[in-house]
Structure 1
């Protein structure tokens, strides 16, 4: 880990250390900001003592990050258009990262202070979109190309659908519990349990489900939200010290050969479909032997990029064999090939089986560009896990008592948590970021409606207002910070 500072000028090293620290601070805040939602029901229902709940939740978050992969991490990264990722100089990349992180940290701390279950995911995604749009306004990039709108639409839909689904599914699940277990003690609140049964804790089986589902929420939260920090760190590393991180230095000869072969298969694939892709990819124009790195990715340069990748990786067993400049060129070509392949897959001119083949080739092409070193994953996991163990009290009270007009029953807690595990788990499978806060809070609200408890209008109004304001506020703040920083530095 520490060798990444070797050979760096003092100012660059300090800037790198500061940027990494800000990412870990963001994840630490994310821990007690978002994960408070994961333990809210289990603490409120007294299924676990608070100190044990947050301790084991922290461990589950840690494991979730370690085992969650990097799919969501690069879904976040690819909100930025590939042209911006290609052309980030050290100064602009630092301005980008600082703007996003300062925005996310400030908004998260503010909403946490007032006990509002706002979404860290919305904050970060809004900050990324703001930076992309501001960068477009400061350069000659069209505003419409300042953000990868295809990826933004996918993520936006997941963020909208997941809380709606959480509300409906949790409500239906609670109704199922009421029908199947009409006389069960699971339909009591902790206060009713103490007053009627003189018991402090839920019945054994209800308690077991509450504990297991809460820890599962923490695990899937770690595997989803933790990856956002991983994606940010990789943006920092690639932007500030690209020579060491543009390609996975730990890639095996097999992985490099897989990328080399994928470029060749992609060439053959395009030639097979030349009748519909010939003009778009300029297949009739002989590719140059080694195209220069371009400021923009163009489908017309696709065959040249394929040749360049094949030429650069021919016989290479480790990326250390390539000089830093060559590694940068390979990454640029791979990013452009992946971006063009994504556009081709979305054109609607290829049969379904061909689109499936193209997606497999994209996965092979990005095998050594979409990665994260183990120390990055471990650092984010540790920051998120430790953050989980502090600062949880404010949000627990909001989720447990202030969303509905009555306290939460054991069955409501179980329904909301089981729904959250399912929704976030499905999102992880499709590498889509979602908001643990929104899914769980919406699930609780759904159970309150299904239980005819009624909603506490003031709290619900405050939460909805925070959700609605998060996107525009974070976009404006990050865009302003980025623009001021770039213009001040003469970018």
Structure 2
């Protein structure tokens, strides 16, 4: 971690520390903003005490960040074009970083204050979009190139459709519970609210098996939240550090000799593959040139040229510290560009399953030493998220637990919502899709209550929907405004 400051003067080092502080604040706010997603059902069904639920959620959020991988993290990093921050001077990079962070933090705190379960993911992505667009306006560059459009499209689609999926799956689970358990003797218990349980059975706690199911599903949501939202924090921090301290984070300076040799071997195998399939690729490109936009930016000879340049750059290199800053920049640019070319190759060519698997594996291998995160970054993000989880959670819990449905949640509704959220977010984390934990859980609760015929509070749903609709444009405008002001001041 100390090498973060080894190339900096005092002022730059202070800005780096301040940027780290802002990222950790964002992640802590994310923690207490989203804690309700995991603990509200436990608290309102009386399965555990509030303090136990929050402590447990904090622990499994920590583990989720620690073990969740980096696929979502780099989905966040690549929302901006690969080299946008690197092509600016250090002052502009700092302006971008603080504009993004301040916009996301302000909106998250505002929605938390008004007890609205809005999406931290939306606010972060909106802030990144705002910076990208403002940079395009101020530099006179193309708006099309201001953002990584394919990555942005995938993220938008996931954020739009994931709440709809949550609502449907949760409603289906309620239906299935009724269908398969209707002949069971104690079936009625699962459809009790805690108050009904206390009045009818004289017990405050849910039945044992229901309690276990609620706790396990809550653990699932906490872990999945850590894996998905924690990775966003890791991605944000890596984006920040690549922008303001590129000398230390363009490539993994701790990559082993074995990893670097493996990267070289993969590059060699790619060269052999493209050389062997030269005629096939050129013929396909010429055939599709008039009907496919993707082929306009796809050139066989450019790919071969990049592979050769990468091979030359890595010749006799077994430690990335031997590369100067310009060569680290070139290596990162070449490898990211090759990964995009591999995606295009898979999309354009009619290739066998074996070839497709080879190319996908090659892409993973060449990115291993640039799509990384030091362990200290993973640990401080995990700690920030888990600590944030343990504070400030009450405001959103009230909205989720009491204000979505017209009645209090039953045990079945709580389980359905939690199981839906944990599975949906877990799958999204595994596949590298950044989704909103808040929106999935909120829509799952609504889906369960609608399926049961209990109805929902329209005023609350309107407020949540309004926050959902406003988050992106407000975050875009805030970060754009802050970045514009910063550019005037520097």
TM-score, scaled relative to structure 1:
0.92
Match of 1:23 in 2: 23
After TM superposition, the structure 1 = structure 2 runs for residues 467-486 of structure 1, keeping only pairs within 5 Å, are 467-486=468-487
Question: Is the 8 Å Cα contact of residues 65 and 377 (structure 1) preserved in structure 2?
Answer: yes
Higher alpha-carbon deviation: 435-444 or 237-246: 237-246
- Alignment CA distance shift 1:88-1:27 (3 Å): same
In structure 2, C-alpha distance between the alignment counterparts of 1:351 and 1:403, rounded to whole Å = 50
1:409 has 2:410 as partner? yes
After TM superposition, the structure 1 = structure 2 runs for residues 204-283 of structure 1, keeping only pairs within 5 Å, are 204-275=208-279, 277-278=281-282
Q: Secondary structure at the match of 2:84?
A: helix
Which runs of 5 or more residues in structure 1 are unaligned? 283-295
1:343 has 2:344 as partner? yes
C-alpha distance after superposition, 1:79-137 (max 9, x if no partner): 11124254243222212211111111001100111111101111111111222222222
In structure 2, C-alpha distance between the alignment counterparts of 1:279 and 1:94, rounded to whole Å = 46
After TM superposition, the structure 1 = structure 2 runs for residues 8-407 of structure 1, keeping only pairs within 5 Å, are 8-182=8-182, 183-275=187-279, 277-278=281-282, 301-347=302-348, 353-407=354-408
Q: CA deviation at 1:348?
A: 5.5
Match of 2:292 in 1: none
Q: CA deviation at 1:345?
A: 3.3
Question: Is the 8 Å Cα contact of residues 220 and 425 (structure 1) preserved in structure 2?
Answer: yes
Higher alpha-carbon deviation: 93-102 or 69-78: 93-102
C-alpha distance after superposition, 1:209-232 (max 9, x if no partner): 101110110001000000111111
Question: Is the 8 Å Cα contact of residues 83 and 333 (structure 2) preserved in structure 1?
Answer: no
In structure 1, C-alpha distance between the alignment counterparts of 2:104 and 2:10, rounded to whole Å = 27
Question: Is the 8 Å Cα contact of residues 297 and 336 (structure 1) preserved in structure 2?
Answer: no
In structure 2, C-alpha distance between the alignment counterparts of 1:280 and 1:488, rounded to whole Å = 51
Question: Is the 8 Å Cα contact of residues 3 and 248 (structure 2) preserved in structure 1?
Answer: no
Higher alpha-carbon deviation: 158-167 or 414-423: 158-167
Higher alpha-carbon deviation: 368-377 or 305-314: 305-314
Q: Secondary structure at the match of 1:144?
A: coil
Which runs of 5 or more residues in structure 2 are unaligned? 287-296
Q: CA deviation at 1:281?
A: 9.6
- Alignment CA distance shift 1:157-1:70 (3 Å): same
In structure 2, C-alpha distance between the alignment counterparts of 1:297 and 1:244, rounded to whole Å = 31
Q: Secondary structure at the match of 1:84?
A: coil
Q: CA deviation at 1:325?
A: 3.1
Question: Is the 8 Å Cα contact of residues 278 and 300 (structure 2) preserved in structure 1?
Answer: no
Q: CA deviation at 1:472?
A: 1.2
- Alignment CA distance shift 1:54-1:174 (3 Å): same
